[in-house]
Amino acid sequence: MIFRQLFDPQSSTYTYLVADAASRDALLIDPVFEQARRDAALIEELGLKLRFTVETHVHADHITGAWLHKQKLGSRIAVSAASGAEGADLYLQPFEKIPLGRRHVEARGTPGHTGGCMTYVLDDRSMAFTGDTLFIRGCGRTDFQQGDAHALYRSVRSQIFSLPDHCLIYPGHDYRGLTVTSVGEEKLYNPRLAESIGENDFVGYMKHLGLPHPKQMDIAVPANLKCGRPDKTTTLDPDWAPLTYTFGGIWEVQPHWLEEHLREVQIVDVREPDEFNGPLGHVPGAVLIPLGTLSERCGAVSKDKPVVTVCRSGARSAQATVLLGKAGFDKVANLSGGMLRWRAQRFAVEGGID
């Protein structure tokens, strides 16, 4: 299996990428709208095919990236039939299996945090994705979206604590930075739901949580009931060049594109002067602004023309794109592979030696 735990710091949401290494088929559990680009880059870089996005429930605190991934990667949207969401491709019933190459993930109905919550269990019962039904030493609130503390208690007992003690639990959120727990651990130490705690004690605990509603609730719930499809569809990706977005968060342009469009962009070389004038040479028309001086000298770069940053290998120039982005430049990309790749592909240089 290939497995990655991804985090959205805005809503403290975990997104899980689970893939079958043999077939490269992948699922993304609880993707976040604002992180769709990052997640798509990772999926691409790992050479995976996103078959499904899978929701643990209709979220109240963030918008799902399900619809965006469907547009970008052709994935199908899976939600619980009890969620009430429209626009999905697969409406899951309890115990339904979601295929993952030769493996699968089983959906279990775990209502309580919301009426349509589901927990997803890997076929060998080594991992369970519990959404907001069970957190690390906690659980999701039960005071909105058909929340029901009695139902949550019973869901945890019958559908999660019935898994093997060694089964790892991956929650939908953690607000303290913890990442994973296990069934055995939660049965012993969950302060609300440990095996020693009775149903009425739990219900009493949940009645008095007194939490304010999530800040995004009025926007998130209606959007998630449409699987994250925006009312107005706008293009989120830059269109001035066929850019690629890396998992590291950098927009990149390939050397062959730059070679054909040299006059349409400003090329900012962020190496030191001795490198700029050294044996590798520089891209024709490039302006030298060493990375260390870029913050104070970025006034010399026009905001009206796209900027391509260049260095030796593409590392310093990647940092330069971030710096320029912060300075208000919105059309910036890094030359992928820097001067080394530019030279390896035999594109023209000014200066330098063969």
Residue 148 binds Fe ion (CB under 5 A): no
Give whichever of 111 and 140 is closer to ligand GSH, judged by the CB atom: 140
Which of 20, 132 has the CB closer to ligand GSH?
132
Binding site for ligand GSH (CB under 6 A): 11, 59-61, 132, 138, 140-141, 173, 175, 211, 214-216
Strand-pair category, 251-253 with 103-109: unpaired
Of the candidates 15, 35, 10, the residue with the CA atom closest to the CA atom of residue 249: 35
Q: Of ligand GSH, Fe ion, none, which one sits near residue 211, judging by CB under 5 to 8 A according to partner kind?
A: ligand GSH
Partner that binds at residue 84, options Fe ion, ligand GSH, none, CB closer than 5 to 8 Å by kind:
none
Going from the C-alpha of 95 to that of each of 61, 70, 159, the distances in angstroms are: 27, 24, 10
Q: What tokens appear for 10 in the block?
A: 């805005």
Quick count: other Cβ atoms within 10 Å of Cβ 187? Answer: 17
Q: What is the DSSP string of 84-117?
A: --SS-SEEEPTTPEEEETTEEEEEEE--SSSTT-
Q: In angstroms, rounded to a whole number, what is the distance separating the alpha carbons of residues 290 and 273?
A: 7
Q: How far is the CB of 12 from ligand GSH (least distance, A)?
A: 8
Closer to ligand GSH by Cβ: residue 143 or 272: 143
| Contact partner at residue 32 from Fe ion, ligand GSH, none, CB < 5 to 8 Å by partner kind | none
Our CB check for ligand GSH shows the closer of 87 and 214 to be 214
Enter the tokens of residue 126.
């080594």
Which residue has the closest beta carbon to Fe ion? Answer: 132
Indicate which of ligand GSH, Fe ion, none lies near residue 11 (CB less than 5 to 8 Å, by partner kind): ligand GSH
- Of 39 and 132, nearer to Fe ion (C-beta) is 132
Contact (CB, 8 A) for 78 and 55 = yes
List, in order, residues 6 or more apart from 129 with CB less than 8 Å away.
16, 29, 30, 56, 119, 120, 121, 170, 172
- CB–CB of 84/225 below 8 Å? yes
The site partner of 69 among ligand GSH, Fe ion, none (C-beta below 5 to 8 Å per kind) is: none
Q: Which two tokens stand for residue 5?
A: 């735990």
141 binds, among Fe ion, ligand GSH, none (CB under 5 to 8 A by kind): ligand GSH
214 binds, among Fe ion, ligand GSH, none (CB under 5 to 8 A by kind): ligand GSH
In terms of CB distance, is 20 or 30 closer to ligand GSH? 30
Out of 25, 96, 106, 132, which residue is the one contacting Fe ion (CB under 5 A)? 132
Q: For residues 51 and 141, which CB has a smaller minimum distance to ligand GSH in the complex?
A: 141
Q: How far is the CB of 52 from ligand GSH (least distance, A)?
A: 22
**Taking each helix axis from N to C terminus, what angle separates 66-73 and 36-45, rounded to the nearest 10 degrees?**
40
CA triple 159-69-337, angle to 5 deg? 120
Least spacing, CB of residue 106 vs ligand GSH, in Å: 23
Q: Which residues bind Fe ion (CB under 5 A)?
A: 132
